[in-house]
Amino acid sequence: MAPAPRDWFSKQFTETFDEKAREIGRFNLAIFGKTGVGKSTLVNAIFGEDVAETGIGQPVTQGSHLYLHADGHFGVLDTRGLEIGTDDATILAELKEYVGHLRRLPQSEQVHVAWYCVRSLDRRFEETEESFVRELDRLGLPVMLVLTQVPLRDGRYHPDAEALRDDIAARDLPLAGGQIFLTNAKADDFAGVEAHGLQSLLDATFLVAPAGVEEALVAAQKIDLKRKRTSAERAIRTAVGAAAAAGATPIPFSDAAVLVPIQLTMMASIAHIYGIGVDRATAASLASTAAATAGGRSLVTGLIKSVPGAGSLIGGGIAAAVASSVTWAVGQAWTTVCARLSQGKLNGVTGALDSDAIRELFLDEFRGNMRRKLPGGGGVRSLGD
């Protein structure tokens, strides 16, 4: 007996999602600094992961003081039980062994960038910290130096933070990107303190991270929605090109079997970009495409029937323009759904996904995008514009 359409769709989406997860991989950040400098707050502000306790995660080797917390497309390597400036030899020895081991593994398992954090109002950068940064560089890690908890008022940094920055800069450390980043990760409305410097730090991290982990870094970070949108558009363009090629062959529209995997891959990619977990992404995709999947396996057939006038364009096969336009409209609508989900929206009163709201949003966006491709409700020429 053939599986029910929803079961088939759910299985296919989940398998595609998992395959895409392996393809994207993981961005791994090592973060160092003395206790209390705000490392976890900084990481949480940019990546949105719950790493408030440095002990979260697994020790990288038995008895190691290095802990890796990995979730989705982000991993953070931190120390526990040892203090920078006191236990440097032990930390660096363990790190050297670990980094050497990782270089034999795939890129997604390696450490890609190191942040060394200094609290700005401590007003000093010790010789032991300088030596530690130089040793990180000798291990082959791109090191970025971050001043944390920097007060900013009327566009000016606190003079003590600027003095500390200048003192560190004078030491000519081997810093990736060649600059020191002044940040404040957490706003305090009562004190009138704003968060700042996070986007600049993230931009520089993109520049020094290996090219092969860029997609993982886009998915892992939570503050740069423009980058996520750009990455989603790239996934849509790839799918549109593949759909046009598939549509140029005589495929009966009632089946459209070649187009469904293309669109599922696109939807899975966009879900990863916006950090939507597999369970929520699968449920949301089912809700979004319910009209298309209720009567059969063809996502394309059900969706295009929801656009007045579009059905008249279909003959014995899917024209390349139709295939690409439908795929583009699906991608745009799904991107809107994923963006809303990433912001904590589209939930019901219990916190579960609001399937009706998701379906309504997706179909409204899909129809609107298709109508923009179909001025007046018809016209094959406009589909290819």
Residues 32-62: tens digit of each pLDDT = 999 889 998 999 999 986 544 434 456 665 5
Residues 322-375: tens digit of each pLDDT = 778 888 999 999 999 999 999 999 987 787 899 999 999 998 998 888 888 764
**What pLDDT, on the 0 to 100 scale, is given for residue 300?**
61
**What pLDDT, on the 0 to 100 scale, is given for residue 324?**
84
How far apart (Å, rounded) are the C-alpha atoms in residues 266 and 328?
10
How far apart (Å, rounded) are the C-alpha atoms in residues 303 and 203?
38
**What pLDDT, on the 0 to 100 scale, is given for residue 372?**
80
Mean local confidence (pLDDT), 3-7: 70
Please, are residues 338 and 276 in contact by the beta-carbon 8 Å criterion?
A: yes
End-to-end CA distance of the chain: 43
Instruction: Enumerate domains of the chain plus CATH numbers.
Output: 26-220 (3.40.50.300), 224-383 (no CATH)
pTM of the model: 0.87
Locate 220 and state its tokens: 């892992």
pLDDT > 60? residue 382: no
Residues 112-170: tens digit of each pLDDT = 999 999 999 888 999 999 999 999 999 999 999 999 999 998 889 999 999 999 999 99
Pairing verdict, β 66-71 and 58-59: antiparallel
pLDDT > 90? residue 67: no
pLDDT > 50? residue 203: yes
**What pLDDT, on the 0 to 100 scale, is given for residue 255?**
44
Please, are residues 39 and 31 in contact by the beta-carbon 8 Å criterion?
A: yes
How far apart (Å, rounded) are the C-alpha atoms in residues 257 and 362?
22
Mean local confidence (pLDDT), 166-188: 93
At 308 the three-state DSSP class reads coil
Q: Is residue 61 within a helix (H) or strand (E), and if so which, with residue range?
A: none
Which residues make Cβ contacts (< 8 Å) with residue 380, sequence separation at least 6? 313, 319, 321, 322
Q: Which string of DSSP letters, residue by residue, matches 251-305?
A: --TTT-TTHHHHHHHHHHHHHHHTT--HHHHHHHHHHHTHHHHTTSS-HHHHHHT
Q: Using 50, 70 and 90 to split pLDDT, how confident is the model at 302?
A: low
pLDDT > 60? residue 311: no
Which residues make Cβ contacts (< 8 Å) with residue 333, sequence separation at least 6? 288, 361, 362, 363, 365, 366, 369
Q: Using 50, 70 and 90 to split pLDDT, how confident is the model at 71?
A: confident
Locate 294 and state its tokens: 């209720």
Mean local confidence (pLDDT), 198-206: 97
Sequence letter at residue 72: G
* Between residues 384 and 130, the one the model is more confident about: 130
Given CA atoms 235, 240, 243, 248 in this order, what sign does their dihedral have? Answer: negative
In 3D, which of 228, 220, 212 has the Cα closest to residue 108? 212
In this structure, the number of other CB atoms found within 10 A of the CB of residue 384 comes to: 14
At 26 the three-state DSSP class reads coil
Residues 226-275: tens digit of each pLDDT = 999 999 999 999 999 998 887 666 655 444 567 788 999 999 999 999 99
In 3D, which of 239, 228, 217, 223 has the Cα closest to residue 335? 228
Phi and psi at residue 69, to the nearest 5°:
-105, 115
**What pLDDT, on the 0 to 100 scale, is given for residue 210?**
95
How far apart (Å, rounded) are the C-alpha atoms in residues 314 and 312?
6
Tokens 């010789």, residue? Answer: 127
